[in-house]
Structure 1
């Protein structure tokens, strides 16, 4: 049996983390950890070394853009998928230029999430 891909889930909304974690588990992924802000995300990435990071853009203390930069500086091969609300197209484009693999719009569609994350692993 092949190990399930691990995901670090980072969003300041506890409700979104709970929903996304459930959807990830149903899609065959394993949630390696959860972070409430970008600082926690970069620290947990270094500790957990997940296969993927699902990273919100707008968070307190350290936003997704800064967390993305820190994660990619520590591991240039990190697979990060940005999670954002509508209206953040410029921020998404900047993150893709920085090295994010893809992005997902909120609210999260389970089929789209699975497809985007599997593509990011390929």
Structure 2
């Protein structure tokens, strides 16, 4: 079971993702509504994975990704982005995000992406 931090300024999106992931045996250990909260919760909770929205008030997802990666270069972050934000997704990946999921979400794509990224991490840790 993976410990996941869900970051999105929309409560509905956090609830949707959390419910979906819980049904697939993942544990939601925290939710944040902006980048500052995400950094603080990451430091406190050390999740296995962060699902990070990009466009948020206070601090956006790109800045939060950079801060988390500075804190922990092994952090696993998946960006959640709306259609038409390809340029921002590229910037997020360059900042350290491992993958991205497009909104509106396809439930199977969310689960496949989360499992694939976590499995890749498990494999790289066992091969070291």
| Fold similarity call, TM over 0.5 | yes
C-alpha distance in 2 between matches for 1:27 and 1:57:
24
Which aligned runs of 4 or more in structure 1 are off by greater than 6 angstroms? Answer: none
What residue in structure 2 maps to residue 37 of structure 1?
34
Q: Equivalent of 1:27, from 24, 29, 33?
A: 24
What residue in structure 2 maps to residue 81 of structure 1?
78
C-alpha distance in 2 between matches for 1:59 and 1:70:
15
- What's the TM-score, normalizing by structure 1? 0.95
**Structure 2, unaligned stretches of length 5 or more?**
121-128
What residue in structure 1 maps to residue 56 of structure 2?
59
- What's the TM-score, normalizing by structure 2? 0.91
1:26 Cα offset (Å): 1.0
**Structure 1, unaligned stretches of length 5 or more?**
none
**How many residue pairs align between the two structures?**
119
1:39 Cα offset (Å): 0.3
C-alpha distance in 2 between matches for 1:119 and 1:98:
20
CA deviation digits over 1:71-92, x for unaligned, max 9?
Answer: 0000000000000101110010
